[in-house]
Amino acid sequence: MFSNILGNPKTSIAGLLIGIATIAGVLSQQGVSLGNAGTGTVVSLIAGIATALLGLLAKDPDSAAPNPGANAKIGVLMLCVLLVSGMMPLAGCSGVTVAQDIVNWTPALQAAVATVDSTASLLAPADAPVFVAATVGFDAASNLLVAQAKAYLANPTASILTQLQTQAVTFQQQVNAALLAAGRITDPASQQHAVSVVGAVTTIVSAILALVSSISSKAAVARMAAQSTIKLAQVEPLLDLDQAALIVAAHNGSARWEDDRAIARFEVTYTIAYEQRAGF
């Protein structure tokens, strides 16, 4: 069976592992609890199959790829996604580690917001004021989120984490509202451009929100979700998941290869499912 799958040029190791992990994600999203033993079984299954497939790949003389390091990262990345997405407690990841990852996202966030700032001039005259009004708070919100992430990294206290939680949700709500407003723009070209640039910010803010949630208590996540009145399900139809995957892959430093983009696409899909199940 594995030889047939591996022999299919349309199937990759990444695709197989993503499919297995997605099953776990769907169960989690639908509220099907696997319990501690069940979750461990899923993770063990993924790890075991990853090891087996990578072993087969290593023995296959025809499996050489332009990106020899890609497949070696897949099993580890799948497990990391499961950990960060909340299917099981974070292992070996401190609040400082997550705070550093949030800070690492901030250059991409600031670049995406800068693109939003320059977009109004490219829209139809009637649409530009609507877009500006919807995105006017992005600069201040992003700057505050960046400052709080750096503050938490320097001094990871409960009070600063609470501020970071509040700002992550606040900015998420601003971005969600702006994305809905962009979707209501009537000129097709303006709408496509506006949705694309706001969607890029949405992708990054969603990644940061997931990271903040991963170091927050269940009560804190519930509080954050209650503050989220514009739900991700409302804006998800406007998101370009291929664009989001490229943003995540670029952040991971591996946007060049197809398998790396497939991993990033899984990360995006799973993060959306996790945040929706959490109530965002």
Does 104 lie in the same domain as 29? no
Answer whether residue 232 shows pLDDT above 60: yes
CA pair distance 141, 167, nearest whole angstrom: 8
pLDDT tens track for 143-197: 999 999 999 999 999 999 999 999 999 999 999 999 999 999 999 999 999 999 9
Answer whether residue 29 shows pLDDT above 50: no
Query: In the chain, what percentage of residues exceed pLDDT 90?
Result: 52
3-state SS, one letter per residue, for the chain: CHHHHHCCCCCCHHHHHHHHHHHHHHHHHCCCCCHHHHHHHHHHHHHHHHHHHHHHHHHCCCCCCCCCCHHHHHHHHHHHHHHHCCCCCCCCCCHHHHHHHHHHHHHHHHHHHHHHHCCHHHCCCCCHHHHHHHHCCHHHHHHHHHHHHHHHHHCCCHHHHHHHHHHHHHHHHHHHHHHHHHHCCCCHHHHHHHHHHHHHHHHHHHHHHHHHHHCCCHHHHHHHHHHCCCCHHHHHHHCCHHHHHHHHHHHHCCCCCHHHHHHHHHHHHHHHHHHHHHCC
Does 149 lie in the same domain as 70? no
Does 220 lie in the same domain as 115? yes
Does 220 lie in the same domain as 166? yes
Q: Is residue 142 part of a domain?
A: yes
Does 128 lie in the same domain as 228? yes
Does 153 lie in the same domain as 203? yes
What residues make up the domain containing 182? Answer: 95-239
Does 185 lie in the same domain as 124? yes
Looking at residue 260, what is its pLDDT?
75
Looking at residue 2, what is its pLDDT?
31
CA pair distance 274, 126, nearest whole angstrom: 38
- Tally of domains within the chain: 2
Q: Is residue 261 part of a domain?
A: no
Count how many Cα atoms sit within 13 Å of the Cα of residue 89 in the half-sphere of its side chain.
7
The pLDDT of 29-51, averaged and rounded, is 46
Q: Is residue 26 part of a domain?
A: yes
Q: Is residue 245 part of a domain?
A: no
Looking at residue 93, what is its pLDDT?
55
Q: Is residue 39 part of a domain?
A: yes
Q: Is residue 66 part of a domain?
A: yes
Looking at residue 261, what is its pLDDT?
78
Does 60 lie in the same domain as 169? no
